[in-house]
Structure 1
Amino acid sequence: MPIKLPRTLPAYEVLDREGVMVMGEDAADQQDIRPLRIGLLNLMPKKIATENQFARLIGATPLQIELSLIRMTEHQTRNTAADHMESFYRPFAEVEASGEKFDGLIITGAPIEHLEFPEVTYWDELQRVFDWTQSHVHSTFGVCWGGMAMINHFHGVPKHLLNQKAFGCIRHRNCAPASPYLRGFSDDMVIPVSRWTELKREEIEDVGLRILIDSSETGPCLVEDIDHRAVYIFNHLEYDSHTLKEEYDRDVAAGQPINVPANYYPGDDPAEPPQNRWRSHAHLLYGNWISEIYLTTPYDMAEIGRSSTDLRKKGL
């Protein structure tokens, strides 16, 4: 089944060219099924590239997905055209006021790691988003800074500044092969990492959370938070093949100190084309997340956010 997108959204044409099944809103409305409603709270400056990355992954499942693009209410992006934001994004305040609910919500990262959480200009509203997910979203996926912010809000786990940027394609190990989120995963895998901060393994485990994917080099990667119906990933399986290259080239051009991304270029030579060795696990992870939502979300969306005890009483 396809992902439902507006035909004028740039991701529609990109995914269609790649062979991902996409469907315009008119055609989707003629199908007598309930699509899964997935929201994307996009905090990244390059909105269109991020839309493409996540739409590609959640659109590869056999379920119909309706993707809604959400932005922070007052924060204005300087890297995406205003007409694109006006046409395709809704401010969170509007979504909140509508009372609508979502089967899933992805909260992206943001390039603001150097700031303490309370210093972020939209931190108060973002905390409101986190609390809102508990009554209006069945499953939330926090990515990189977004995941770190969620785990800090709900559990008080701090982020720690690194001496140098964790940057490259890093080997990780599968710590929970029986987890439904890791169905089909290898015992170890390569995952793109690009961050200046980390969360400590012991501090995550001290608050009772389960680490699903870990790295001896860069620490915890994927964490499950059952009580808040959330998963957090601190690295970037959604990245395109050239995303790390673009980040590296940008910093080199700006004269910023940056290491060549580890294990990314053949022979660690930036003159060589990079190799994508994480694509299959990216599709597995987001496909497993969508499948888990499909298996557990109530058919009646009004029931989303109710306690699992209440849902069991209703037989949902």
Structure 2
Amino acid sequence: MPIKIPKLLPAREILESENIFIMDDERANHQDIRPLNILILNLMPEKQKTEAQLLRLLGNTPLQVNISFLQTITHQAKNTSQLHLDQFYTSFSEIKHRKYDGLIITGAPVELLSFEEVDYWEELKMIMDWSKTNVTSTLHICWGAQAALYHHFGIGKYELSRKCSGIFTHRVHDPVDLLLRGFDDEYLAPHSRYTDVAVEEIMNHPSLRLLSSSEVAGPFIISADEGKQIMITGHLEYESTTLSEEYSRDQKKGLDIHVPENYFPNNDPNQNPANRWRSHAHLLFSNWLNYFVYQQTPYVWE
């Protein structure tokens, strides 16, 4: 089944070229079906790239999914045109009266700031609090996961000695958990961040379950309230070249940055990296939509 997106969204052309089944408003309105309504709070600077990454994964299930994009009003996006934001994004004040089957809160390049220093922190706190009563399940990614752990559970982040960037091996701790259904005992996933959270704090917190982690990259998949809140500290949604693009960007800025680990063939940035995490990315998003959204959400929100 398709994902429903605005007819003129630029990501449409990318998704259609990959044979991902999409549907615009005009066609969807002729179908008598209760689709899942998924809201995406996109905090990433290059919003159109993130849109395509997430829509690619949300569009690979038998479920029909309506997508809406949310932006913060307390931060002015610098890398996305205002025309794009006006055309495809909404604000919290416009949707706070609604109920959603699922919410995705993306990462953001603000991790070296304290949470309170982020200009949209108060707005984000309102959205996270609202999600507890107005959303069936919320998926938090990277900095979004750290923000959720801090706001909901009082677990802070700490700065790493150097950026965690690369492809790392992870182990599954609870193979019977529905979110990890079909996962291999060990699998690969990308990380790209300067901060981390302590695995001991997560394991000792009575409301949290550590489902998967990496010896090198730390806690990865964390669940709370039977999957109503899910935190992913890395970037399974990343494309094959995303880490390469970030590495080149950081080099151009003159940052003291190392080559992403276990990523380029022979550790050579001149060679094209292979995507070795795509299947688990699709599996995680499919499991989330099926077991924690579709099978948990009411047919009619009261």
TM-score by length of 2: 0.98
SS at match of 1:222: strand
Mapped contact 2:101–2:137 kept (Cα < 8 A): yes
* Deviation of the 1:228 alpha carbon: 7.5
- Aligned residue pairs total 300
Distance verdict in 2 for CA 1:2–1:275, change over 3 Å: same
Instruction: Read off the aligned partner of 2:246 and give its amino acid letter.
Output: E
| Superposed displacement of residue 75, structure 1 | 1.3
- Give the CA RMSD over aligned residues: 0.9
**1:151-178 C-alpha deviation (Å, 9 max, x unpaired):** 1101100101101001100111111110
Alignment partner, residue 76 of structure 1: 76
What's 1:112 paired with? 110
- Equivalence map 1:287-298=2 (5 Å): 287-292=286-291, 293-298=293-298
Distance, in Å, in 1 between the alignment partners of 2:155 and 2:69 is: 28
Other structure's SS at 2:240 match: coil
- 1:78-157 map, 5 Å: 78-96=78-96, 99-157=97-155
The equivalent residue for 1:219 is 218
Q: Measure, in 2, the Cα distance between the counterparts of 1:71 and 1:172.
A: 32
| Partner secondary structure for residue 171 of structure 1 | strand
Equivalent residue of 1:210, what SS?
A: strand
Q: Distance in 1 between matches of 2:43 and 2:279?
A: 25
Any conservation in 2 of the 1:166–1:194 contact (CA below 8 Å)? yes
Deviation, 1:74, is: 2.4
Q: Deviations over 1:67-121 (max 9, x none)?
A: 000001221101001100000000112211xx11100000000000111111111
Amino acid at match of 1:131: D
Does structure 1 retain, via aligned residues, the 8 Å contact 2:108–2:143? Answer: yes
Partner Cα distance (2:28, 2:294) in 1: 18
What's the TM-score, normalizing by structure 1?
0.93
Aligned to 2:22: 22
Q: In the alignment, what sits opposite 2:198?
A: 200
Distance 1:154 1:253 in 2: 37
Query: Which residue in the other structure is 1:52 paired with?
Result: 52
The 2-side partners of 1:216 and 1:26 are apart by 48
Which consecutive unaligned segments of at least 5 residues does structure 1 have? 303-316
- Give the equivalent residue in structure 2 for 1:251: 250
* Distance across 2 between alignment mates of 1:140 and 1:124: 18
Asked if the contact 1:169–1:264 (Cα under 8 Å) also holds between the matched residues in 2, the reply is yes
Listed as ranges, the matches of 1:263-278 within 5 Å are 263-278=262-277
Q: What stretches of structure 2 of length at least 5 have no aligned partner?
A: none
Determine the structure 1 residue equivalent to 2:229: 230
**1:310 corresponds to:** none
Deviation at 1:217, TM superposition (A): 0.8
Verify the 8 A CA contact 2:74 2:119 in the aligned structure 1: no
Deviation at 1:205, TM superposition (A): 1.7
- The 3 A distance-change label for structure 1 pair 238 and 228 is closer
The residue aligned with 2:299 is 299
Segment drifting more, 71-80 vs 234-243: 71-80
- How far apart in 2 are the matches of 1:26 and 1:252? 45
> 1:227: Cα distance to partner?
6.2
Q: 2:104 is paired with a residue of what secondary structure?
A: strand
Q: 1:160 maps to what in 2?
A: 158
Kindly provide the amino acid, as one letter, of the partner of residue 200 in structure 2.
Answer: E
Tell me the SS of whatever aligns to 1:185.
coil
Which runs of 4 or more aligned residues in structure 1 lie more than 6 Å from their structure 2 counterparts after TM superposition?
Answer: none
The corresponding residue for 2:36 is 36
Aligned to 1:20, the other structure's residue is in SS state coil
Distance 1:214 1:301 in 2: 35
Cα offsets for 1:109-147 (capped at 9, x unmatched): 000011111111111111101110011101000000001
Tell me the distance in 2 between the aligned counterparts of 1:112 and 1:227.
29
Q: Tell me how far 1:26 sits from its aligned partner.
A: 1.1
Q: What secondary structure is seen at the aligned counterpart in 2 of 1:301? A: coil
- Distance in 2 of aligned mates of 1:105 and 1:16: 24
Aligned counterpart, 1:171:
169
Query: Matches of 1:227 and 1:300 in 2, distance apart?
Result: 21
